[in-house]
Structure 1
C-alpha cells in the first residue's frame, strides 16, 4: 500500500489515490492507442531484434514516452529497468550529462542482451554542445547501445543526430482513441460518465491522452458522475458555444456583449488569454463563418497570439481583437 493510500482519516474510495495516467499506462506496444502504423513498425524491429536509434517527435501526451518504455519491456521483460536509462534533457541540459551519465551507463557491463537502451526525453532542450557530444557518444557505443530520443520539435535536433535515427512523428491522438480510453478507465474505476462528459473530456484534451485521463480523475473527485459541467469547470476550458458566441457578437458589431463574455471567461472561469487564443484557433473552422470572416478572424488570432507571446497584456490584446472584428463589420 502506498503512503497516499495508508494516510488520511476515514474510509477512502479505492483507486482514487493512485495517479491514473501511471496506473493505466500501456505496458506493450499493442496497448498504445492511436498510432497503429507506428507501433507496427516498432514491433517489426523488436521481432527481428534489429532496433535502430529512434527519434520520436510530436506534441505532449501522445505516446512517445510510453512507446519507448513499451519497447524496453518487450525486449527485456522483467530485466527492463536494468537495461533502460531514462533521462530528461529539460532538467539536465548540459554537456556533462552526456559525457558522464550516458557514457557510464553505456560502458557498464551487462549480460544476456546485445544492447541496452538510453531514452532521452525532451531532447530538443539539449544545448548544441550537448547534442554534439551526444552524436559522438552514439558513434562510440553503437555496438552495444541504442538511443531513443523524444522531442516536441525535430527541427531543433541537429542533422548529424537525425541522420543516425529512424524518425517517427507522433501526431495528436484522434477523438475516437481518446474517447475509448476514457471510457475504459472510467469503467475500471467505477465512474459514471455521460456522453456529454466524455465529449467534453475529448474536447478539452485536444489530442493529449494524458490531459484527458488527468481531467477524468480530477472531475471524478467532484462527484459520482462526470458530466460536461464538471469537466469544463475542472479544466478551466470554455464551452465551444461560448467561444462561438463571443466571436459572433463581435462580428455582428456588438462589442459590449462580446467583451462581457470575454470578461466572464477571464475573471470568473479563470482562463488564461493564451488558452482562449488556442481555443479560438482550433474552432475557427467549426463556427460556420463565411470564408472572408474566417480568414479575417484567423489573421487577428495570429497577430494577438504573437503579441501575447512577446509579453503584451492578455486582456488588452483580446479586447483589441474583438474591437477590430466589431469595427470591420461597420
Structure 2
C-alpha cells in the first residue's frame, strides 16, 4: 500500500513545474497586488476600522458598510481581507466584486447585483454556516448614477437576510442619503509617514530593492499618504535602476514632482514685476513638460510659507489656485492659466 501511494518521478516533476509556474506568475504581479493584505490583522494605521471588523469575524453580525476616504488608504484591501477571514475557501462563491465606475448604470443593479443577492447561502454552500450571507462589493460607488443608487437602495432592503453590501468611495457626499443611512460608515485616514515607511521597507526587503533613506523619505513625501501610489513608484524606480540603487532624483523624476528650483524661479519672475520675464518663465515651464496641475499644488505650499505676503494676499492667491484647478480639470489651456496665475501673484507682490 505504501508503494502504491508513493508519488512517481513524473508526478514529482509535474508538481515542481506547477510550483515554479505559480512562483513565476506571482513574480509578475504588480507589487500592490502581490503585497495586498490577506487578513484584517495586516491592515495598517486604520485602528478603529480594524477593531470593529475583528469583532465581526469573531461572531458579531456584519452590517452593510460604507468605506470612504482618500485613495490608496486600504479601503478595497480591507473588505477583501475581511471577506477572506469570514469565508475562507468559499471566498469566490460568496463575494461579488464590481467596479461602479465601469458598471454604473441601473441595468447592473437590476441584473448582476439583484440576481446574486437573491441566491441563498444554502444553495452556495450546501449546509450550515457561521456566516450565512454573501457580500457585494461596489468599488468607486460615488461614480454610480442617481437612478442606480435609488435601485440599489431597494435591493439592500429586500435582500438583507442573504446579502451584505460594502460600498467604497472617495467622496461620501456623492452617495445619496437613503443609502448612507442604511450603512455603517467607516472613514479611512491617509496613512501616517511612519506606517508608509515601514510597509515600503518591508516591500523593499522582500524584493531586494536598493534605496537610500533620503530617497525613501522623498517617496513618502511625494505619495501624500497614498500607499498604493508609493508602492507603484517604488516598483517603477526599481525596474528603472535595478541594482544601481534608487536616489532622490530618480524618485522626483518618476513621481513627476517639479524641482524646487523651478518653483523658486516662477516666484522670482513674479517679484520682478516684468511681464516679459514672467512670459519667458512660463514658456520654459511648458517647454519642460511640467504639468500645470502639479505646479499649482506645489506652489500652494510655497505661497503659504511666504512671509512677504499678508493674509489677505494669500487668500487672493489661494482662491486663484482653486479656480485654476477647476479650469484645468475642465480642459483649459495650461499656458494661459499659468500666465493668469503669474500676473495675479505679480499684482499681489508688487502693489
> What is the TM-score of this pair, normalised by structure 2?
0.83
SS of 1:329's equivalent in the other structure is helix
- 1:4–1:260 CA distance, 2 compared to 1 (3 A): farther
- 1:129–1:296 CA distance, 2 compared to 1 (3 A): closer
Deviation, 1:123, is 0.9
Deviation, 1:71, is 0.8
2:299 to 280, 295, 299: 280
Deviation, 1:242, is 3.7
Instruction: Give structure 2 stretches of 5+ with no counterpart.
Output: 1-19
Alignment correspondent of 1:221: 239
Conserved in 2, the CA contact under 8 Å of 1:244 and 1:287? no
In structure 2, distance between residues paired with 1:117 and 1:244? 51
User: 1:4-48 deviations in whole A, cap 9, x for unaligned?
Assistant: 958xxxxxxx94x33100011111122122211221122222223
- Indicate yes or no: 2:325 matched with 1:314: no
1:71 to 67, 82, 89: 82
In structure 1, distance between residues paired with 2:274 and 2:58? 63
- Indicate yes or no: 2:314 matched with 1:303: no
- 1:98–1:54 CA distance, 2 compared to 1 (3 A): same
- 1:239–1:31 CA distance, 2 compared to 1 (3 A): farther
- 1:2–1:231 CA distance, 2 compared to 1 (3 A): farther
In structure 2, distance between residues paired with 1:48 and 1:263? 63
In structure 2, distance between residues paired with 1:55 and 1:119? 10
Deviation, 1:231, is 1.0
Deviation, 1:49, is 3.0
- Indicate yes or no: 2:39 matched with 1:25: no
SS of 1:226's equivalent in the other structure is coil
Deviation, 1:110, is 2.2
Matches within 5 A, 1:152-171: 152-171=170-189
Alignment correspondent of 1:10: none
User: 1:197-240 deviations in whole A, cap 9, x for unaligned?
Assistant: 11221122112111110000001112121111111111222134
SS of 1:86's equivalent in the other structure is strand
Conserved in 1, the CA contact under 8 Å of 2:63 and 2:164? yes
- Indicate yes or no: 2:97 matched with 1:97: no
SS of 2:136's equivalent in the other structure is strand
In structure 2, distance between residues paired with 1:129 and 1:42? 30
- 1:257–1:226 CA distance, 2 compared to 1 (3 A): farther
In structure 2, distance between residues paired with 1:200 and 1:254? 34
- 1:192–1:265 CA distance, 2 compared to 1 (3 A): farther
**Bigger Cα displacement from structure 2, 95-104 vs 140-149:** 95-104
**Count of matched residue pairs:** 321
Deviation, 1:310, is 3.2
Pairwise CA RMSD:
2.5
In structure 2, distance between residues paired with 1:266 and 1:32? 41
In structure 1, distance between residues paired with 2:246 and 2:305? 25
In structure 2, distance between residues paired with 1:190 and 1:258? 46
Name which one, 1 or 2, has greater alpha-carbon Rg: 2
Conserved in 2, the CA contact under 8 Å of 1:246 and 1:257? no
Conserved in 1, the CA contact under 8 Å of 2:317 and 2:344? no
Matches within 5 A, 1:1-330: 15=27, 17-108=28-119, 109-111=123-125, 112=129, 113-223=131-241, 224=243, 225-240=245-260, 242-251=262-271, 253=273, 262-268=282-288, 270-282=289-301, 284-286=303-305, 290-292=309-311, 293-330=313-350
In structure 2, distance between residues paired with 1:26 and 1:143? 29
